[in-house]
Amino acid sequence: LVYEDYPTNPINPYGWSKLMAERVIIDAAKAFGLNYSIFRYFNVGGAHEKYHIGQKGEGVTALIPIILQTAKGERERLSIYGDDYSTPDGTGIRDYIHVVDLVKAHIAALPSLEKNTSGIYNLGNGTGFSVLEMLNAAKQVTGIDIKSEIIERRAGDPASVVAASEKAREVLGWKPEYIDVSKIIETAWNWYKSL
């Protein structure tokens, strides 16, 4: 599990850009007497179940939309980056959180800001799923045999990244409602296939 006080030593440019943004926010808060809630999102997925809002677009790199694009025939196959990690099935493990749970975290943070409280919070479910587990869950949800291939690892990808979100639960009173990864995929699939 990755805690908020875990040493911040990014291993890729994406991680460095996020850390630099945090530093700018913290420095601005000190300089101008502001409060802040910095959220460290883990892998966001899903779609709103009532309103027609979901994740799609050119250049999407998130796993769930890519799997669903493949299921819908917009991609020939899912590329799985490496199967030789020190994980149970050899593929990378990540924590997935529903987009609606993220929105609720933002709302939950407002009272703490009004109380002059600042903080950094992980937003994840606290459970990791491998790429193969995600692929299999998507096959179950869609009823489609989604094609995939194992290719080389990407440089800078860690084997496993899972959020410890207890701080957000304790300080903000927030907790994710979508804890079943199949439900996260299902909401995304229902939105995506309606396009």
Ramachandran bin of 80, using left for φ above 0, alpha for ψ from -120 to 50, beta for the remaining angles: beta
**Whole-number Å distance between alpha carbons of 106 and 96:** 17
Going by the DSSP 8-state scheme, the letter that residue 95 receives in this structure is: E
Catalytic one of 3, 6, 14, 36: 14
The most distant pair of C-alpha atoms in the chain lies apart, rounded to whole Å, by: 55
Token look-up 């994840």 returns 124
Catalytic residue list contains 192:
no
Ramachandran angles phi, psi of 33, nearest 5°: 65, 40
Active site residues: 14
